[in-house]
């Protein structure tokens, strides 16, 4: 397949999903099929894309056949393709889980349409090679997430929606203003072109200023300290499948944008931005995990852990060695699977135990021992225990920071891992080991009686847990892939050459 088709299909499937879900907006069965088929199509095209870039080639296409600095280009290197692939996996897994009836009364209205819209925005943001186009994909993703969050229309959701919408709109407008300033000093918005132009500018101080402005704009998307307020204010109000897809993808798009811009565009002054990012990473990890320790609602605990884990993903930019960037990529991939899975399990706990509140839960290990095992796999992986995926990703980022003498970063990373374990054990003790409260008998009976719902909810959880175990037990290919993707990010020529055509030295390593 040509690069044009390979790069178009991952956004074509969700776009078609949006169109068809809007056309058949009154027909729920058709929408369900359309949504699932589009998600499977996204996964399939992402697999093809990843296979095409696996050997280190970078693919590029320019929409409408307008030449590179003027038209909008889509570029896929190993990092982008891996992110699209993980989006595809999440789309299918949470798509199946979402049929369980959690969104039943409102499913007709907009759920499938917005779900596909969210996937469209996320995939576009991963693939685009134009920074203004990135803003457009951000907005598509955001307006879909606004809709999904407020879908239920409960009082808590509307209240959360106001904060989520306002803070995110301010962040994206700030992003837009930053893009305008960037355009003002460079005259281009194509990322490959920017990578060529930015180092040649006379006033490098301005470039560093812009780098910090982008860090703020993307940082509030990624929910880093001190810009994370919107996340714990909103996430816990949405129903389980919606918050799972949010947790899996939304903040990670911000992390992706930070890693992309700081390896491709703003690597010139790493001596100044590196310590800033390191400080942000430490504070993000610590505040997130402490926030989680204070709460007793599973969804709020897990929401704070999203923030805490974002800190680890910034190690790559803070340390800026190949090992650290590769470790960050591995961390993002591992984290998306684990975090989404924990939220899916939280949904099951709510179904079988009747509540998200740890104080009203208990005795689940006695009644559903398999669920306990399924919970422990992602929970211990999140804390970073061997032999799970979290161990290898934590190991690489902390080793990278120790190698580069970032002792504070490494120590806080290890301590936060311990505190993460504390939170996970709190959920385990309260929901699984504590004696079952009297109120939990009724939901448990309903859960055990409904075989179809159980199948819909547990299949994705088992599949994601299997992926976590696979990364943990057969880490070599995944670590190797991340390291090569990280090295590719740091070597900017392959990206620039893919967009503008191989310029001078055509020494493609293509065995």
d(CA 130, CA 113): 26
Nearer to other proteins, 48 or 143 (CB): 143
- Closest contact distance (angstroms) between CB of 440 and other proteins is 14
Nearer to other proteins, 159 or 508 (CB): 159
The 17-46 contact track toward other proteins, x by CB under 8 A, reads: -xxxxxxxxx--------------------
d(CA 125, CA 119): 10
Closer by beta carbon to other proteins, 18 or else 222: 18
Which two three-digit tokens encode residue 218? 């993307």
d(C-alpha 335, C-alpha 329), whole Å: 10
Cβ distance to other proteins smaller for residue 295 or 339: 295
Task: Please state, in angstroms and rounded to a whole number, the distance separating the CA atoms of residues 410 and 161.
Answer: 36
Among 51, 170, 373, 441, binds other proteins (CB under 8 A): 170
The least CB distance from residue 191 to other proteins, in Å, is 15
Of the ranges 63-71, 204-212, 310-318, 467-475, which one interacts with other proteins (CB under 8 A)? Answer: 63-71
| 201 forms part of the interface with other proteins (CB under 8 A) | no
CA distance 148 to 151: 5
Out of 156, 201, 407, 441, which residue is the one contacting other proteins (CB under 8 A)?
Answer: 156
Q: Which of 91, 103, 142, 318 binds other proteins (CB under 8 A)?
A: 142
Residue 216 engages other proteins in binding (rule: CB under 8 A): no
Helix (H/G/I), strand (E/B), else coil: 201? coil
Tokens of 323: 């090992």
What's 46-107 look like in SS3? Answer: HHHHHHHHCCCCCEEEEHHHCCCCCCCEEEECHHHHHHHHHHHHHHHHHHHHHHHCCCHHHH
CB contact at 8 A, 248 and 162: no
Residue nearer to other proteins on the CB measure, 32 or 454? 32
DSSP state of 439: G
Count of residues that interact with other proteins, criterion CB under 8 A: 60
Considering the rule CB under 8 A, would residue 287 count as an interface residue with other proteins?
no
Among 56, 101, 183, 469, binds other proteins (CB under 8 A): 183
What is the C-alpha separation between 388 and 465, in angstroms, rounded? 10
Tell me the residue length of the chain.
Answer: 511
> Please, what is the minimum distance in Å from the beta carbon of residue 442 to other proteins?
19
Mask 110-139, x = binds other proteins (CB under 8 A)?
----------------------x--xx--x
**In whole angstroms, how large is the CA radius of gyration of the chain?**
22
Sign (positive or negative) of CA dihedral 307, 311, 316, 320 = positive
Cis before 37 (ω within 30):
no
Q: Residue written as tokens 């299909």?
A: 9
Q: How far is the CB of 236 from other proteins (least distance, A)?
A: 7
- Region near other proteins per CB under 8 A, out of 62-70, 380-388, 403-411, 481-489: 62-70
Using the rule CB under 8 A, is 207 a contact of other proteins?
no
Cα 38-259-497 angle, rounded to 5 deg: 80
**Least distance (Å) from other proteins to the CB of residue 388?**
32
Residue 62 is a binding residue for other proteins (CB under 8 A): yes
Q: What is the b/e burial string over 104-141, where b = at least 16 CB atoms within 10 angstroms of the residue's CB?
A: eeebeebbbbbbbbbbbbbbbbbbbbbbbbbbebbbbb
Query: Which of residues 31 and 482 has its CB atom nearest to other proteins in the complex?
Result: 31
Which of 346/410 has CB closer to other proteins? 346
**What CA–CA distance (Å, rounded) separates 48 from 115?**
22
CB of 115 to other proteins, least distance (A): 15
Binding other proteins by CB under 8 A: which of 40, 47, 48, 169? 169
Among 195, 234, 289, 302, binds other proteins (CB under 8 A): 234
Nearer to other proteins, 138 or 481 (CB): 138
**Side-chain-facing half-sphere of 346: CA atoms under 13 Å:** 29
Comparing CB distances to other proteins, the nearer of 179 and 325 is: 179
Cβ-contact 126, 14 below 8 angstroms: no
The counts of H helices and E strands in the chain are 24, 2
For residue 315, what are the CA distances in angstroms to 255, 322, 391, 396?
11, 11, 15, 10
**Is residue 179 part of the contact set for other proteins (CB under 8 A)?**
yes
Whose CA is closest to 191, among 142, 249, 130? 130
Distance CA(362)–CA(433), nearest Å, equals 6
Residue 297's DSSP bridge partners are: 357
Q: Does 146 bind other proteins (CB under 8 A)?
A: yes
Stretch that binds other proteins, among 180-188, 208-216, 239-247, 453-461 (CB under 8 A): 180-188
**166/405 with CB nearer other proteins:** 166
The reply to whether 313 sits near other proteins by the rule CB under 8 A is no
What is the binding site for other proteins (CB under 8 A)?
A: 2, 4-5, 8, 12, 15-16, 18-26, 61-65, 132, 135-136, 139, 142-143, 146-147, 150, 153, 155-163, 165-166, 169-170, 173, 176-177, 179-181, 183-184, 189, 232-234, 236-237, 296, 359
């Amino acid at each position: 397949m040509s690069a044009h088709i390979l790069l178009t299909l991952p956004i074509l499937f969700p776009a078609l999903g949006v169109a068809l879900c809007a056309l058949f907006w009154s027909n729920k069965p058709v929408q369900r099929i359309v949504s699932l088929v589009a998600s499977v199509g996204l996964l399939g095209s992402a697999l093809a894309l990843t296979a095409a870039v696996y050997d280190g080639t970078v693919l590029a296409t320019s929409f409408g056949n307008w030449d590179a600095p003027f038209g909008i280009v889509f570029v896929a290197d190993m990092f982008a393709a891996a992110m699209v692939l993980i989006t595809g996996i999440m789309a299918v897994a949470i798509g199946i889980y979402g049929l369980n009836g959690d969104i039943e009364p409102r499913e007709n209205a907009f759920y499938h349409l917005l779900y596909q819209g969210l996937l469209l925005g996320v995939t576009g943001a991963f693939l685009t090679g134009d920074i203004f186009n990135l803003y457009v994909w951000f907005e598509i993703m955001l307006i879909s997430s606004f809709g999904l969050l407020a879908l239920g229309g409960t009082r808590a959701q509307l209240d959360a929606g106001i904060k989520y919408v306002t803070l995110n709109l301010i962040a994206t407008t700030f992003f837009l203003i930053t893009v305008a300033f960037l355009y003002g000093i460079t005259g281009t918005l194509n990322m490959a072109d920017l990578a060529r132009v930015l180092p040649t500018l006379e006033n490098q101080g301005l470039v560093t200023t812009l780098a910090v402005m982008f860090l703020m704009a993307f940082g509030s998307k990624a929910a880093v300290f001190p810009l994370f307020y919107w996340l714990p204010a909103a996430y816990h109000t949405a129903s389980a499948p919606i918050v799972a897809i949010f947790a899996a993808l939304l903040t990670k798009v911000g992390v992706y944008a930070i890693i992309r811009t700081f390896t491709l565009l703003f690597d010139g002054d790493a001596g100044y931005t590196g310590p800033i990012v390191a400080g942000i990473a430490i504070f993000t990890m610590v505040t997130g995990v402490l926030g989680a320790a204070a709460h007793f609602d599973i969804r709020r605990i897990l929401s704070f852990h999203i923030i805490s884990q974002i800190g680890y993903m910034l190690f790559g930019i803070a340390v800026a060695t190949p090992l650290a960037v590769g470790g960050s990529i591995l961390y993002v991939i591992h984290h998306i699977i684990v975090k989404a899975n924990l939220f899916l399990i939280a949904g099951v706990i709510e179904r079988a135990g009747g509540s998200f509140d740890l104080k009203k839960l208990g005795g689940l290990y006695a009644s559903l021992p398999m669920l306990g095992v399924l919970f422990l796999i992602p929970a211990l992986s999140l804390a970073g225990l061997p032999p799970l995926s979290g161990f290898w990703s934590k190991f690489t980022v902390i080793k990278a920071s120790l190698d580069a003498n970032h002792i504070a970063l490494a120590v806080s990373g290890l301590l936060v891992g311990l505190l993460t374990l504390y939170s996970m054990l709190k959920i385990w003790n309260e929901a699984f080991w504590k004696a079952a409260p009297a109120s939990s008998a009724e939901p448990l009976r309903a859960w055990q009686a409904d075989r179809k719902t159980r199948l819909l909810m547990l299949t994705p959880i088992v599949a994601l847990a299997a992926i976590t175990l696979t990364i943990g037990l057969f880490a070599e290919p995944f670590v190797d892939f991340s390291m090569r993707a990280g090295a590719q990010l740091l070597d900017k020529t392959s990206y620039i050459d893919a967009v503008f055509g191989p310029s001078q030295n055509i020494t493609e390593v293509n065995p």
